[in-house]
Amino acid sequence: AQTVTQSQPEMSVQEAETVTLSCTYDTSENNYYLFWYKQPPSRQMILVIRQEAYKQQNATENRFSVNFQKAAKSFSLKISDSQLGDTAMYFCAFMGPGANSKLTFGKGITLSVRP
């Protein structure tokens, strides 16, 4: 079974600085999908970034980028130029390739951006 581990429950960063959120996962699959979701105080889940395992290039979306290390089964999220609106819970998620694959989430990390 796939598992997703986010070992840091909370982090804090100064506005305009850079922060990295860690995520590791366990799977025997070769092709799969990884995601980072943001959950602000409104509790609406928002996709931040996604990565397909067959792609070697790290995904980037504006200020958000990932460091995908397939051999190490690591998928960290880097937020550059942190903004107050980045304050939220961040969840790492995994989906396998099979027809009956499920979407598995880590426990999440609470990120606070300080003014």
What residues line the site for another protein (CB under 8 A)? Answer: 6, 9, 33, 35, 43-45, 47, 50, 52, 91, 93, 95-108
Q: How far apart are alpha carbons 68 and 32 in whole angstroms?
A: 12
Q: Pick the closer one to another protein by CB: 18 or 60.
A: 60
- Distance between CA atoms of residues 112 and 82, nearest Å: 10
Q: Of 28 and 44, which has the nearer Cβ to another protein?
A: 44
Buried b (16+ CB within 10 A) or exposed e, 99-114: eeeeebebebbebebe
Between the two ends of the chain, the Cα-to-Cα distance in Å is: 41
In the complex, minimum distance from the CB of residue 95 to another protein, in angstroms, rounded to a whole number = 6
Least spacing, CB of residue 44 vs another protein, in Å: 6
| Minimum distance of another protein from residue 72's CB (angstroms) | 22
Shortest Å, Cβ 115 to another protein? 25
The nearer residue to another protein, 82 or 90, going by C-beta atoms, is: 90
Cβ-based nearer residue to another protein, 1 or 115:
1
